[in-house]
Structure 1
Amino acid sequence: DKNDPNINLSKTSFSDLRPLNILVQSHMSHRSCLCVYHESINLLLKALSKQIQCPDLNTLQTFSLALVCDEEDEKLIDQKKEIKWYQWILNEGLAKKQEFNGTIQQCLADLQEKIKPFLWHVFIKRQQASYFEQMKSSTNDETVCLQVDFSEDFRMDIQDAIQGSYYSKKSVSLFTSHVWCSSQGFSFVYVLDNCTHDKYCISTILDQLFDEIKKKFKNLQNLHVFSDGAAQQFKQRFLFRNLCRLADLFQIELSWHYFATSHGKGVVDGLGATVKRLVYSAILAGQHCNSAADFVVIAKSKTNAIEISEIKQHFIDDSMAKMEPIFKSVKPIPETKKNSFN
């Protein structure tokens, strides 16, 4: 007990006696890109678990299995006691972690309000994840499973750069994808100087990606694509219309599936991280990377396990000229963002 003045403990003994579940701060990982539904519940549970002696409040897993504590325990709770808790809120379009102060009863009311959408979100997440695993395990020469995503843009650095260059660094965009077919797997990364991630970039990339897949699988008949639900990139009417064109162009049955919000992470995230780490290591060793073309040359020299290609701007311009008349005729689809497609 830190309040006991009679205890004299050396730093070595303190370190040796440290429980394994108590991590040294320097060894703790930085957790980011968490699901807002799960983290909102988790933050409420953290505050309540300090006041309510109920094992079901210790973790999200136990809370999901048992949403209420025993009635006898609830009678012992001083619901008027003042506590503080945190929640993620949107403020002018920006996510912010805000502190709230109130009674245990108010915190419980906040938790109760979030339970229904949380359980629906968990259901959707598990159903879509289960379907994804089912599709991967049922692939063959005729049916292929594909996951796609945009990696975070790579900011091109320079070794021994002067101070004035910090704000003039350029970025490249990375589109990552992985194909499952029986026991085989193929990874693709497309690199662009264009960082807009707009519908014309995506159309250009999908044309080239589907062409590569068709070359590898001559008997391809069904292609199941999985991605996150980013509205700017994938979950929008222009992609829906483009899928019809791509299905006709490549003579395949084409379906697109969306993971639950904030649960689209997978092998594609590892592809982006791997390629960027290889290029960044080369930059630290003195190599110059000033464009998507440079990025591709360096990345290809470091790995053969990933097929890496550049998408030049003139291909995107050609796609814009071809697709703009088609996209102009596409009508809005109500509640696209709200619905879960599987």
Structure 2
Amino acid sequence: MRPKHISVVKFSNINTCLCQRHQNMVLKLKALTSLGIPTSETPDVYVEQRSDEEIGEGIVSISEEKIKFSERKRVDVEKKGKFFKRMKIVSVEKKLTEFRKHIHRVKEQYGQSRRLKDILPTTHAICHMDFAENYTCGFAEEIQSAYFDKNPNAVMLHPVVIYTKDNEDEVKVKHKSQVVVSDEWSHTSLTVFVIMKHVVKEVKAVLQNVEMKRADFFSIVAHHDTIVPGIKASWLYFEAGHGKGPCDGVLHTATIQSTDDFFQWGKTQENSALRYIFVPKSQCTEALEELSNLVGKHVKGTIQVHAVISLGKGIIAVRNTSCFCDKCFIDGQPVPACDGWTVHQMSETNIQVTELMECNKINTDELHQVNRYVAAIYESRWYVGQVSEYDKDDQECNINFMVAGKTLSNGLRNHIRFGYQVPTYCAHWMSR
């Protein structure tokens, strides 16, 4: 029986996948309101209606005894000429400037998305896509040990909405919804690379001479003309936490027991407008060799970049926000004409990942023996340790690392799946 003072959950009042920056600002506004400082209902309105000076004056008027803010932040700590990462409680810095930029990027990206749909040429297609959740398949009746299964059947869903126009004079664009089904769990660039190869085939079926605007990675955009001849690409994405769109409303609920079951169920939905595409995990593994040749240099400030266009021959142009003005979008081609674009030459050096993996093949059974010494990389630093436990079924080992007289920061528990035998010994040993 439910106690009378316990309320039933109302799903209409539940909001998920909210923007972290906005929610943090909402909590701060609630704190200011409780202290008698006038605020607004939404963070956007509050910041847009007031200058930084006006907001600062209101906060300064509060006595220090009434308001104390602190947050945990990972900082660099210097000791004997060396820097270490440590978790410390530091004072909260002003976030207004960052939040204003965040709001600007949100509005700018949505505005440019609408503009691109309005001026979309008939030879172009827009692919709006994103990962959905990884769904774990369960059974109505299962034995107790199934609860502890390390590798349960799971389904990865990746909705895609393709926008096209038959006539440039049309006001509205046509859309075609698809769902990519896969047993690959990882949401990595490799997975997206394989998915996009299937999406390209679907776009070609809709448009014969398509020049696709699509989400992609720096190196693939730079060399896209060699990967998919005849199709040009650019990378345009929404601000973090604000990428919800039609592709998030494509899916519904179904009871499925495996990835293949879900795909077979999708094919039986004759009245559905969705098209289901199956991408097996094996294709993601096979794509490693193709993708390994496209590894280029890093672009500084990647987290701020929201637009990447290809200029051909391994050259890209990046910008913090998208732009489809008359100068930057000429005859259906993106051009870095406005202020804010920067051009980067991606590295011509090809890193043969597959060859490197072949050279570094090791006997894992021998390596994972208890008391063996191994080395691992964490945050670009090498750590030498000793295997204390090894689970052969899960291919995981527990390692005690040697670190200059101190344990790893935060007492981090390290699990690695591979390592290299090290013939060196450390003068000082500290267990976790």
Q: 1:60 to 1:323 in 2, by over 3 A?
A: closer
Q: 1:295 to 1:81 in 2, by over 3 A?
A: same
* 1:179-213 CA-partner distances (Å, limit 9, x unpaired): 11133111121111121233332222111111110
Q: Is the 8 A contact 1:223 1:252 kept in 2?
A: yes
Alpha-carbon deviation of 1:76?
A: 12
Q: Which of 115, 124, 139 is equivalent to 1:134?
A: 115
Match of 1:307 in 2: 275
Structure 1 unmatched ranges of 5 or more:
1-22, 93-99, 101-105, 227-233, 284-288
Q: Which of 240, 244, 247 is equivalent to 1:265?
A: 244
Higher helix proportion: 1
Match of 2:225 in 1: 247
Give me the identity figure in percent. 20
Q: Is the 8 A contact 2:213 2:233 kept in 1?
A: yes
Q: Which of 176, 179, 183 is equivalent to 2:162?
A: 179
> Hey, what's the Cα distance between the residues in 1 that align with 2:246 and 2:231?
25
> Hey, what's the Cα distance between the residues in 2 that align with 1:44 and 1:75?
11
Q: Which of 152, 160, 165 is equivalent to 2:146?
A: 165
Matched AA of 2:231? I
Structure scoring higher RCO (CA < 8 A, sep ≥ 6) equals 1
Alpha-carbon deviation of 1:156?
A: 1.0
Alpha-carbon deviation of 1:83?
A: 4.6
Q: Which of 212, 216, 234 is equivalent to 1:223?
A: 212
Number of paired residues? 275
> Hey, what's the Cα distance between the residues in 2 that align with 1:90 and 1:29?
32
Match of 1:293 in 2: 260
Q: 1:142 to 1:60 in 2, by over 3 A?
A: same
Match of 2:399 in 1: none
Q: Is the 8 A contact 1:175 1:190 kept in 2?
A: yes
> Hey, what's the Cα distance between the residues in 2 that align with 1:327 and 1:40?
38
Q: Is the 8 A contact 2:224 2:232 kept in 1?
A: no
Q: 1:27 to 1:298 in 2, by over 3 A?
A: closer
Alpha-carbon deviation of 1:264?
A: 1.2
Alpha-carbon deviation of 1:154?
A: 1.2
Structure 2 residue matching 1:194: 3-state secondary structure: coil
Alpha-carbon deviation of 1:164?
A: 3.0
Match of 2:129 in 1: 148
Alpha-carbon deviation of 1:24?
A: 8.2
Q: Is the 8 A contact 2:183 2:280 kept in 1?
A: yes
Give TM-score, length-normalised by structure 2. Answer: 0.56
* 1:75-98 CA-partner distances (Å, limit 9, x unpaired): 9955345257797x6679xxxxxx
Give TM-score, length-normalised by structure 1. Answer: 0.70
Matched AA of 2:234? S
Q: 1:306 to 1:25 in 2, by over 3 A?
A: closer
Supply the RMSD in Å over aligned alpha carbons: 3.2
> Hey, what's the Cα distance between the residues in 1 that align with 2:105 and 2:113?
12
